[in-house]
Structure 1
Amino acid sequence: MDLIFGKVNDQRTARVAELLSDFRTLQYYIAETPVDPQHQDDYYTEGWAALRQCSIDGQHILNCAAETRVPRVRGGPEEQAKAELQQVMLDAFSRRHEAQKIYLRQLAAQRWVGWRDQVLAGGRPHTGNIEQLVACDAQLRVELAGITDDTIHSDLRSSDYQMGRWTLEDPPLRHIQRWLRARR
């Protein structure tokens, strides 16, 4: 029994390491994305505001404290180790989930920057291109609205499965959302 339990705890430990590695990679991408436009009068436009918010959100999810309180469980040290690993896994899984959401929002805002630059073609907004700029803003809002917890959870689970990762004890979305709400 101890051999089986130890093997499962090894899988839990490896899963936590994978999740934290994914989170670290996402944090790198989030931190490297520019948040200030070339022209200061673009500072309050929708895409640049979204990029700044993503940077703030990325810093927050990096800095929020981990839940270190694990209730005492019955069954001895093996069961306690299991409970502790599951708590760490929820923390890592939730951080990766939120970082993925932030990263996808950043990608949408970066596409908006590209579209806006194409419309402006090196110039500035004027009455001749305002309609196209409004369309860029509308497209950004549509893309941002499509980035939901449900789609992120589903996409990450699918990706993990395709990579052959151990997902047997991955937390359900409602546990992730509860973890995230507690850190806002």
Structure 2
Amino acid sequence: MSDGLNHARAMRIAEIMTDFRNLQYYLSQLHTTPTAEEYYLEGYSLLRQCTAEGQAILEAPFAASSSGAGGNPEHEKQQLKSIIVDAAVRRFQCQRSFLRSHAGLRWINSRNSILRGQKPNASHMSALQATDMTLRMELLSITDAYVESAVRTQDASQGKWLAEDPSLAQMQQILMTR
């Protein structure tokens, strides 16, 4: 028996997909031009990795079944629930890449601020090492729990319906099977 929440489910999908689209747009706009010497440095490698993750998320197929009679509210309910889970997992992945890419951009800005257009030399070493350490520490703080909490807090503050959003454990389990 349908519970009458299919409209709320459809609205939730639209909200999650809007967030996902915005995150994907941001990730697709990450373009840097490191020198040959800088190309493999942590921050630049991180940005390339985040861009690649965003593309891989887009390319991953949706695995839900679309069989069944159209117009059946119970079938629509199950299909909408499945889409909510898939969309939430994809948004979670994009949010994690977004936060990581932001850390990479801060690293690049800090590095550029230290170097001020000069080639790195001994006088820059301690400041550059501190910038590298800051990036590493920031990346360590971007845990799955942190990402999930940030997304859920933002959604809750906007009064969004979260009753059927997957838990962190569910999302992690899904990601391990992909």
The normalised TM-score by structure 1 is: 0.90
* 5+ residue gaps, structure 1: none
Establish whether residue 139 from structure 1 lines up as the match of residue 124 from structure 2: no
Query: Which residue in 2 is equivalent to 1:117?
Result: 112
Q: Structure 2 residue aligned with 1:59, among 55, 60, 74?
A: 55
1:130 is aligned to 2:132: no
Distance in 1, matches of 2:81 and 2:21, equals 19
State the 1:177 CA deviation: 1.1
Mapped to 1, the partners of 2:33 and 2:101 lie a distance apart of 13
Contact 1:27–1:99 under 8 Å retained in 2: yes
TM-score scaled by length of structure 2: 0.93
Aligned-residue sequence identity (percent) comes to: 38
Alignment-derived partner of residue 77 in structure 2: 82
Shift of 1:41: 1.0
- Could you list the structure 1 runs, at least 4 aligned residues long, displaced by more than 4 angstroms after superposition: none
Write out per-residue CA displacement over residues 78-105 of structure 1, whole angstroms, 9 at most, x where no aligned residue.
3222111110000000011110000000
Structure 2: 5+ residue stretches without partners: none
Q: Is the 8 A contact 1:35 1:55 kept in 2?
A: no
**Range that drifts further, 21-30 or 80-89:** 80-89
Q: Specify the code of the residue in structure 1 equivalent to 2:27.
A: I
- Measured in 2, the distance between the counterparts of 1:159 and 1:44 equals 34
* Separation of aligned partners in 1, 2:27 and 2:76: 33
Question: What is the total number of aligned residue pairs between the two structures?
Answer: 176
Cα RMSD over matched residues?
1.8
**How far off is 1:69 after superposition?**
3.0
1:18 aligned onto 2:12: no
Distance 1:18 1:168 in 2: 14
| Larger displacement relative to structure 2 (151-160 or 108-117) | 151-160
Report Cα offsets for 1:5-28 as digits up to 9, x if no partner.
Answer: 33x100000000110110000000
